[in-house]
């Protein structure tokens, strides 16, 4: 059996190059375990944002794939398709409404939720704490856990 992981991390406030780089690195790390891991994330299929940002150096119009409805419904679909939702809030400077929504969706759909959240995180809230199955203070600990899960699948 393979493991499908939906990766989430804050997007708002970051530049698209950094956001894409984070998700591509997370995907590369998870896939490097050599297990049968499929990685989904919010930037899949949104490369148009990266091209437009490089050309215009402004907030781009991503077209139909970047409307609020498209973003919400597609992320919900990806979470539904996954076995595990991995949310990394380790580097969040402000509360990520998107990540909180993704966590709530994953919890409601009965997905296993793995959260990276330092003790001093701005996300320390009863709803976040209750919706996450497992909370790790560091990315390395969470990735080690995901490796164990992948080996068991």
Confidence of residue 61 (pLDDT cuts 50, 70, 90): low
Q: What is the pLDDT of residue 54?
A: 44
Residue ranges per domain, the chain?
Answer: 3-152
* Residue 104 clears pLDDT 80, i.e. is over it: yes
Q: What is the pLDDT of residues 2-58, one digit of tens each?
A: 889 999 999 877 777 888 899 999 888 888 876 678 899 998 877 777 665 543 344
Residue matched to tokens 């991503």: 62
pLDDT of amino acid 58: 44
**Which of 137, 78, 81, 131 is closest to 103 using CA atoms?**
131
Class of domain 3-152: alpha beta
Task: List the beta strands (DSSP E) in 11-144.
Answer: 37-40, 84-88, 112-116, 134-136
Q: What is the mean pLDDT of residues 111-123?
A: 91
Res 65: pLDDT? 78
- Rounded to an integer, the average pLDDT of 78-106 is 93
3-state secondary structure (DSSP) of residue 58:
coil
Instruction: Inform me whether the pLDDT recorded for 59 exceeds 50.
Output: no
The reported pLDDT for the residue numbered 147 is 84
What confidence score (pLDDT) does residue 122 get? 79
């Amino acid at each position: 059996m393979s493991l499908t992981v939906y990766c989430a991390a804050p997007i708002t406030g970051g530049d698209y190059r950094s956001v894409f780089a984070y998700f591509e690195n997370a995907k590369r790390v998870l896939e490097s375990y050599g297990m049968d891991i499929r990685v989904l994330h919010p930037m899949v299929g949104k490369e148009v944002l990266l091209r437009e940002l490089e050309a215009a150096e402004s907030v781009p119009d991503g077209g139909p794939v970047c409307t609020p409805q498209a973003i919400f419904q597609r992320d919900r679909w990806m979470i539904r398709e996954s076995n595990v939702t991995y949310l990394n809030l380790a580097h969040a400077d402000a509360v990520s409404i998107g990540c909180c929504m993704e966590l709530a969706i994953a919890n409601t759909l009965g997905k296993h939720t793995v959260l990276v959240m330092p003790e001093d995180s701005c996300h320390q809230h009863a709803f976040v704490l209750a919706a996450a199955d497992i909370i790790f203070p560091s990315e390395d600990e969470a990735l080690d856990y995901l490796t164990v899960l992948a080996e068991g699948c």
